[in-house]
Amino acid sequence: MVATPTPVVLVTGASGGVGRGIALSCAAAGWTVWVAARRQSEGQAVADEASARGGQGHFVLCDTVSRSSVREAIATIVDHSGRLDGVVHNATSGLSPTPVQPVTMPIEDLRDHVAVSMRGSFFVAQEALPHLIASKGSMVMLTSEAGFEGKMRLAPYAAVKGAVRGLTRAWARECGHDGVRVNAIAPLATTPAVEEAFAKDPTMAERVLGRHPLGYLGDTVDDIGPVVRFLLSSDARYVTGVTIMVDGGNRPIS
């Protein structure tokens, strides 16, 4: 991304969890942050928090499974802020932390996973692309450790997160010619979804933290957000097509 005084970025699914952390981290650097979410009250609250942290926080209604909703949200941003420098597709299905048996899982549930993670990536990337070409901006997709190793109880979640890595790699090669970078992160952080997953599967906390090098789950604002901010910034201008594990070393990859 070309260095600008106040980059303008969009974060989907930013009304809570990792998306909120990313939004607040970007705002703390003085950026203009558009908090995109389906729930206005929660999204507006995060936008207000972003403004309180030194950035310009705005809420925009956005349902990433809907082409028209994504298009309207990005049009609103560009109309208001004059440009778009970065997009972060963080939204994920509400079913993500729900353990399933693939053989009995309703196909409609799989559709929900696919729509939010994969289709949402497509809609956000395609609608943002002309604006990112203009700004030489970048995209960051959210994947997961599950998208590397699979999960016994979260197979559909792991599959869509793997699929997002494929999109990231392909779009990075393709969009690089237009000066647009595409990267991903695989975070491990304390979020409502993780807390829900731990509650539904009491063995999970021990399995995750028992062998964790740093012994704690990341903070969305202080541990996860800064890495995304780096990827969106000009400091990462020579970084594209990668997935960075932001998990405190939980999954060693060299």
Partner 1 sequence: MTIDLAPWFLGTEAAGDLAAQMGVPLALVPTEVFDEAWSPGRDLEAWREGEVNGERYDVVVVALLAPDLVAHSLAELTDDDWYAQCEGPFAQWFAALTVATERCNDRGVVIAFCDRPVPKDSGNWALTACVSDGVELMVRSLALIHEARGVRVHFVGTPARIEGKPHAQTALHDRFLMLTGTDAASMSSTVLYEGEM
Which of 152, 202, 213, 252 is close enough to bind partner 1 by CB under 8 A?
A: 152
Distances (CA, A) of 107 to 50, 146, 148: 38, 20, 23
Which of 50, 129, 197, 244 is close enough to bind partner 1 by CB under 8 A?
A: 129
Residue with tokens 């740093």: 214
- Residues 229-248 close enough to bind partner 1 by CB under 8 A: 241
Query: Are the beta carbons of 46 and 15 closer than 8 angstroms?
Result: yes
Stretch near partner 1 under the rule CB under 8 A, chosen from 9-17, 22-30, 31-39, 161-169: 161-169
Query: Are the beta carbons of 26 and 20 closer than 8 angstroms?
Result: no
The 8-class DSSP code of residue 15 comes to T
Query: Are the beta carbons of 121 and 89 closer than 8 angstroms?
Result: yes
Write each residue from 15 to 44 as x if it is in contact with partner 1 (CB under 8 A), else as -, in one continuous string. Answer: ------------------------------
Instruction: Indicate if 157 belongs to the active site.
Output: yes
Which of 33, 60, 159, 224 is close enough to bind partner 1 by CB under 8 A?
A: 159
Distance CA 61, CA 63 (A): 7
Distance CA 218, CA 220 (A): 6
The 8-class DSSP code of residue 37 comes to E
Of these residues, 34, 59, 157, 198, which one is catalytic?
A: 157
Does 165 help bind partner 1 (rule: CB under 8 A)? yes
Does 162 help bind partner 1 (rule: CB under 8 A)? yes
Comparing CB distances to partner 1, the nearer of 69 and 190 is: 69
Does 111 help bind partner 1 (rule: CB under 8 A)? yes
CB of 50 to partner 1, least distance (A): 29
Does 163 help bind partner 1 (rule: CB under 8 A)? yes
Distance CA 117, CA 144 (A): 11
Would the CA dihedral through 64, 44, 72, 240 be positive or negative? negative
Write each residue from 67 to 106 as x if it is in contact with partner 1 (CB under 8 A), else as -, in one continuous string. Answer: x----------------------------------xx--x
Does 110 help bind partner 1 (rule: CB under 8 A)? yes
Does 252 help bind partner 1 (rule: CB under 8 A)? no
Q: What single string gives the DSSP state of each residue in 218-253?
A: BPIIIIIHHHHHHHHSGGGTT--S-EEEESTTSS--
Residue with tokens 């403004």: 51
Does 202 help bind partner 1 (rule: CB under 8 A)? no
Distance CA 72, CA 83 (A): 14
Positions annotated as catalytic residues are: 157
Contacts to partner 1 by CB under 8 A:
67, 102-103, 106-108, 110-111, 114, 118-119, 122, 125-126, 129-130, 146-152, 154-156, 158-167, 169-171, 173-175, 241
